[in-house]
Each structure stands twice: as C-alpha cells, then as structure tokens.
Amino acid sequence: MLSPSVAFSFFYWLVAFCFVVAPTEFQTSGVTIQSLFASWLGSESIDFVNYHIKRTAATTLFHASLPLGYFIGMTFVGESGLDFLELSEWAIHTGWQIYFYSACSLLIACATLVYYWHMNDWSNHPIAKNLSLYGENWRSALLQINAEFRSIDKYTSGPTGTSRTIVVDNWIIKTGAYDVKFVHQDHVVLSVGKTEEYQVSPDTMTTVQYVRINVNPLKAQPAFGVRILSTEYSDFKAKLRTEILTLPNITIHQTSGELFLSAFRDQVHQNPMFVVDSGSSFGSCIGCHEKPASVKLTKQCAELEDGDCKNCRCPPMWCLECMGRWYASRQDQSRPDSWMGGSATCPMCRAKFCMLDVSAIQ
Ligand SMILES: [Zn+2]
Ligand SMILES: [Zn+2]
Ligand SMILES: [Zn+2]
C-alpha cells in the first residue's frame, strides 16, 4: 500500500509534468495555462502580442510556483512518506528546509523578473524588446502584427499548442512556453538546415518528414530554428517574401507520394539483395526508359507455398522509383497509411508481391 505522501508526490509531479510539457492529450482536455488564465489573457486572435506577453508571464510564474506548491501539499499529507529512505529525522528536516528555501527563492526570482517585465506597461518584456529592434516604438509593430494575425491569410503550424510557427504578411513568429520570437520578413535569411524523417506508427509504417529551417535575423537577435511538416512546406513558403536557401543534397518530400517513395526505397535497401550473374545486363527500365533496371521481385516475405504472395519469374525490368510508383498506384489512394503493409501485382506476370519481396539487384 502506497503511503499518502508517496501517492501525493507521484500525482503532483505527474500533473506538474503535464502542465510543463503539455502533451496533446492534456491540451485537448482543456487543462492548460491558457485556459486557467483565459479571462486575464484576453483573445489571441484580437490582440495577439499582448496575449502572448501575458501568457509567457503567467507561464513563468505558474511553473515557478510548482516546487513550492509541492512543499505546501506535503505539509498536509505529512512527511512520513520519506521514512523508507531511512534517513534520520535531522536529515529529513534539513533536506526539507533546503527545499523550502530553494522553492521560495525560485518563485521570488521569477516574480521579480515578471514584475520587471511588467514595468512601463510591459516595455521590459522580451517580446517588447524584440519588437523595439524594428522601430522606435514597439507598439507600432504590435499593432501591425495584431492586424496581420487577424487576417485569415496566414500560415500556422498546427491549431493548438504552445510551440507554433506562424507566418503573417510581414512577420515570422515562433511561440514558445516562456518566449515568443518575432522576425520581420525584410530582415531575415532563411535556409533549410536538415530534414528529419519519423515513423508515425510502427504498424502502418507511415513516415512523416519534418524540414528544419534556420531563421537568421539580420537585426541583433539570436538565430533560431523552426520545424515544418514537409507536406506543409509549400504553404509555409507561399507566405514568405524571401527565398529559402536549400542545399542541393536536401530533398523535401512535399507530397505523400514522394514520402512513400522514400520509405519504399528504404525498405528495398533493407531487403536482401538479388545477386545476378556478373556480366548480365538488363537494359533500361521499361517504365521511364532512363534509369537502368535495378529491382527484381522475389518472394521472400514467407515460405514459397505460404501466404498470398507468389514468386515472380520475370527478369529485372524496372528501376526502383518506377516500381515504387507502380506499387503506390495499386494502393487505396485515400489511405496512404495502409500502403506499406499492402501488396501489388507484378506489372508483367501479375504475381502478387509485397514490399518485402522487392530486391535491389547486385
Ligand atoms: Zn524507371
Ligand atoms: Zn513478374
Ligand atoms: Zn510478399
């Protein structure tokens, strides 16, 4: 049986963790700092900048009060739960005293910081400092951003969450828990840093690609990065006035077809190679007539007589890309998540094959 203080500690830090990290489930349940302080924060869509000034202040204070909240909670359930540590009374007592003073110092430090931000009607807030780089009076930038954010024509990564990338007519905005960065589109250099691919779920093997874009402001403000879903990359680019520098070795998969092709290629490279006699050549791919034929279908997902797949005896006739496109064209177009686990038939002999049966030739 858990002692009350262990149970309380577990529960308290779990909830605290959810508040700090704010996983999607927690956000959709509506238990967020934004909803707790909703009436004070005002409306994001009407007064975007002030909303985020207040939100970052509230977040800083709220997070800083969590350790002290734990101490106060523990005084109600008692300290006896720490008995299992077999520490002496004195050690527990001193430990708690140190904890209490540290928690108080953290809260006082953050409260002082927020008070400093608030002076002169928030003129000391990092957001105000950030905007004042772009003009004498930061409030003129504030009004412009508010007006541009109210327009429907903007790019926003995801509908909710504390961490978002927003592009409006003149500004690139990145929101975070404690800070929001604003960069004017006329004073920035953008470049694609790298691309990252993730498997969304191991069952369907659907992959998503993220493009990491380096934002280098030309004004005195630190560089930062934003992460865009590759399928949203063209929407993001459409709202920009500047070009994004892209190295030639970076490929951005903007459609689900391209994303699939990259996953198909990875799978084929994981499959065993098909060894052909040295000196034999198979001519060029009969799909594109450009690349050499480079893949062979051989049943290897199961024993020859098991399963639905059949062994194809056709010689290599297709390049990897054309075979990938052929395979994709035989799938349910409305459900790209099912493609990796699906099957297709050989374009020549109609033998059924799955992605495990496609081998690169060697
Ligand atoms: Zn081809
Ligand atoms: Zn065949
Ligand atoms: Zn198979």
Q: What is the pLDDT of residue 184?
A: 95
Ligand nearest to the CA of 297: 2
CA of 258 to the centre of ligand 2 (A): 25
Q: Tell me the DSSP string of 306-334.
A: SSS-----PPP-B-HHHHHHHHHHTS-TT
CA of 332 to the centre of ligand 1 (A): 22
The C-alpha atoms of residue 251 and residue 195 are separated, in whole angstroms, by: 8
Ligand nearest to the CA of 359: 3
CA of 245 to the centre of ligand 1 (A): 30
Ligand nearest to the CA of 292: 1
Q: What is the pLDDT of residue 344?
A: 93
Ligand nearest to the CA of 315: 2
Ligand nearest to the CA of 322: 1
Q: What is the pLDDT of residue 80?
A: 53
The C-alpha atoms of residue 195 and residue 154 are separated, in whole angstroms, by: 23
Ligand nearest to the CA of 287: 1
Task: Name the architecture of domain 129-254.
Answer: Roll (2.30)
Q: What is the pLDDT of residue 166?
A: 94
Q: Which residue has the tokens 């994709």?
A: 328
Share of the chain above pLDDT 70, in %: 94
Q: Which residue has the tokens 């001519």?
A: 283
Q: What is the pLDDT of residue 352?
A: 94
Ligand nearest to the CA of 267: 3
Q: What is the pLDDT of residue 20?
A: 85
Ligand nearest to the CA of 306: 3
Q: Tell me the DSSP string of 41-91.
A: H--TTTSHHHHHHHHHHHHHHHHHHHHHHHHHHHHHH-SGGGGGG---HHH
List residues, by chain if needed, whose CB lies under 5 Å from ion ligand 3.
301, 309, 354, 357
CA of 291 to the centre of ligand 1 (A): 6
Ligand nearest to the CA of 321: 1
Nearest to 31 by CA among 20, 19, 17: 19
Ligand nearest to the CA of 303: 3
CA of 361 to the centre of ligand 1 (A): 14
CB-facing half-sphere around the CA of 295: CA atoms within 13 A = 29
CA of 159 to the centre of ligand 1 (A): 40
Q: What is the pLDDT of residue 69?
A: 93
Look up the pTM and report it.
0.70
Ligand nearest to the CA of 307: 3
Q: What is the pLDDT of residue 51?
A: 95
CA of 299 to the centre of ligand 2 (A): 11
**Per-residue model confidence as pLDDT tens digits over 117-132:** 999 899 999 999 999 9
User: Burial code of 101-122, b = ≥16 C-beta within 10 A, e = fewer?
Assistant: eebeebbeebeeebeebeeeeb
CA of 277 to the centre of ligand 2 (A): 19
**Per-residue model confidence as pLDDT tens digits over 209-226:** 888 999 999 999 999 999
CA of 75 to the centre of ligand 2 (A): 74
CA of 352 to the centre of ligand 3 (A): 7
Ligand nearest to the CA of 294: 1
CA of 196 to the centre of ligand 3 (A): 29
Q: Which residue has the tokens 């890309």?
A: 321
CA of 295 to the centre of ligand 1 (A): 10
Q: What is the mean pLDDT of each run of 10 residues along the chain (362 residues)?
A: 82 89 73 85 92 95 94 78 64 86 96 95 94 91 94 80 87 92 94 82 67 92 90 87 83 78 89 85 84 91 88 91 90 82 91 94 87
